[in-house]
Structure 1
Amino acid sequence: MQNGGQLERARRRSSIGPLLTLSDAIARGHGRVDDGALQAARDAGASDAEIGEVVGHLALNVLTNYFNILAKVDNDWPVVTPRSAV
Structure 2
Amino acid sequence: MWRLSVLALLATASAQIPSLGWCPDFQPMANFNMNRFLGTWFEVERYFTVSELGSRCVTTNYVSTPEGRILVSNEITNYMSVPTYVLEAIDYDKIT
Q: Which has the higher strand share?
A: 2
Point out the structure with max Rg over C-alpha: 2
Q: TM-score higher than 0.5 here? A: no
Q: Which has the higher helix share?
A: 1
Q: What TM-score, normalized to structure 2?
A: 0.22
Q: Which has the higher contact order (CA 8 A, sep 6+)?
A: 1
Q: What TM-score, normalized to structure 1?
A: 0.24
